[in-house]
Structure 1
């Protein structure tokens, strides 16, 4: 949300020949064609090659990983609507995120047009999105008794655990109206960044802060407060259910509050860090996250995301011996899965993604010149 909003407004003021029609054509068509080809290739591998990847495993499916469901429901994935169907009967369930992200991308122009017309009305739309998220999530969770969610006391009853988690997954976890709040926060922050950029004509805020900020104790206190606030919010989102796993179960009200506000709180914590880094006050964190290596790795992140579930499935389902879940084994598996996923992503980037990107750049630049 932040990138979509900020990119739109920056393009609008820096490009003298900026056209809203062309921008939104690029917004929809380019975005879909940029990410769908590789997605389709991985889907094809699921359908055709997964039956032959680890046949020796005693619990490895004979017809492959999700092969039957993928043959029936692949079109849902390519239309990015798979999160509106039962995830148990779908293909590549992990790609629910791509569907939600694409759906948010579809409605982004509405916000951009409104905030371009009346900025206050645009912020109001973001607030409405946040309220819709909080209200719908809390109502669905409390009405269907999903307040257990994925928490620990369900492990003692497998049937209850299965029914509850599948219901929570289908009704809350993958639905866009239960995830719109973080995106709305990003849209609003992107617009605020644009306003700062426009007024200072320099990026980032560092140039403004150096001229306007008195380096006093209160100034450093504010910086420290922002980081304490951000890390506290993020920690609550990560460890908020710790009591359920340590013999001190949360009350039903606290569980509902956690499941309703954790994603929204996570976005607030991240935005606090982004704002501080954008202002030039991120310190070590800003320098670390601004390293060029992360920019290069970001080109492979999408492919690694698509590959990682297949890598994990083939390893676990193809094993011929029991798996011992220790912290050491989990850590080693995490490292191996990450490296292998990025290696596969590197090759698919060269074979499919890079040609697609270059072809799209050629077509859209040529289209712009013709106009």
Structure 2
């Protein structure tokens, strides 16, 4: 919410002074990468929530890094860069014309980056009953903690650009399928309600549970089912009415309705039939007056085609 409020400070310079705006956005993006890295390095924190982290370190990481807007601004700013590229491509379509090797390079780099973010710390983030788990160095924690959010956002940003510019292929077909439309309206409320639902389920457990893959799958499916129901209720009660009220308040009152701007479209087939009847009532004299114009247009078209044909033979 805080980043949304302050975003005009970064976007308006791009519109009024593009060069200075790009420099300003680069500086802010670099600062957003440095802030979490510095906090993790100074306070000797884990780069993210880890399975083997003790409770005190996990709480400290959540309080100092996870919930703070200035430590999570990098992914938001990467999204601003993606939106700016889409805007530039709309003004200059040549930006969106990529060569084959550029498309392959973009997909390869984005896929590799996403996999590195997901599995880059896997060797440190597991519980071993047969051996010791290696400890991450502070340098690795600083690098991963400062870059992994922006790297993941950049990988997702490439998917958006590639699909928007026509280089998505089967990925674009899957993501744009109408099957996802109902869920796409619930994504934000799912994001907001998932943590409270998981917390409520976790603290309502009254007996010891043991980790197994099948139990975790069952737990995940159950949590998703509850979250979908809660998010649907929240969307219908709060988000949808507010969006409707916002649309009513922001729509100009003097804006003409479609029926006023296009009476024929509002009346439907009745208007079309009236036009046909009106044409049918025209006199034969008007048809005779319009016929010479058709003949003139036909003669002009034939002479123009002859000139084009003659020019083609000369070439």
Q: Contact between 1:126 and 1:185, CA under 8 Å: does it hold in 2?
A: no
| Other structure's SS at 1:242 match | coil
| Other structure's SS at 1:139 match | helix
**Stretch moving more, 346-355 or 224-233:** 346-355
Which is greater in Rg? 2
* Among 8, 11, 15, the residue aligned to 1:116: 15
Aligned to 2:37: 138
Equivalent runs, 1:191-340 vs 2, <5 Å:
191-200=84-93, 205=96, 219=100, 221-245=101-125, 247-340=133-226
Alpha-carbon distance change, 309 to 223 in structure 1, aligned in 2, over 3 angstroms: same
**Which segments of 5 or more consecutive residues in structure 2 lack a partner in the other structure?**
127-132, 256-315
C-alpha separation between the residues in 1 aligned to 2:47 and 2:159? 31
Cα RMSD between the aligned structures? 2.6
Aligned to 2:60: 167
Q: Contact between 1:301 and 1:342, CA under 8 Å: does it hold in 2?
A: no
Alpha-carbon distance change, 245 to 105 in structure 1, aligned in 2, over 3 angstroms: closer
Alpha-carbon distance change, 147 to 297 in structure 1, aligned in 2, over 3 angstroms: closer
Q: State the shift of 1:266 in Å.
A: 1.0
Q: Contact between 1:129 and 1:180, CA under 8 Å: does it hold in 2?
A: no
Per-residue CA deviations over 1:183-206 (Å, capped at 9, x if unaligned) read: 2222122112112112349xx94x
More relative contact order, 1 or 2 (CA 8 Å, 6+ apart): 1
Aligned to 1:64: none
Count of aligned pairs between the two proteins: 250
Q: TM-score, normalised by structure 2?
A: 0.71
C-alpha separation between the residues in 1 aligned to 2:65 and 2:253? 41
Q: Contact between 1:123 and 1:188, CA under 8 Å: does it hold in 2?
A: no
Alpha-carbon distance change, 326 to 367 in structure 1, aligned in 2, over 3 angstroms: farther
C-alpha separation between the residues in 2 aligned to 1:222 and 1:366? 44
Q: Contact between 2:41 and 2:141, CA under 8 Å: does it hold in 1?
A: no
C-alpha separation between the residues in 1 aligned to 2:229 and 2:51? 35
Aligned to 2:261: none
**Which segments of 5 or more consecutive residues in structure 1 lack a partner in the other structure?**
1-101, 155-160, 214-218
Q: State the shift of 1:172 in Å.
A: 1.9
Q: State the shift of 1:289 in Å.
A: 0.7
**Stretch moving more, 316-325 or 188-197:** 316-325
Whether 2:80 is the aligned partner of 1:187: answer yes
Q: Contact between 1:133 and 1:180, CA under 8 Å: does it hold in 2?
A: yes
Aligned to 1:364: 250
C-alpha separation between the residues in 2 aligned to 1:318 and 1:231? 39
Alpha-carbon distance change, 287 to 144 in structure 1, aligned in 2, over 3 angstroms: same
Alpha-carbon distance change, 164 to 367 in structure 1, aligned in 2, over 3 angstroms: farther
Q: TM-score, normalised by structure 1?
A: 0.61
Aligned to 1:44: none
Aligned to 2:292: none
C-alpha separation between the residues in 2 aligned to 1:248 and 1:336? 33
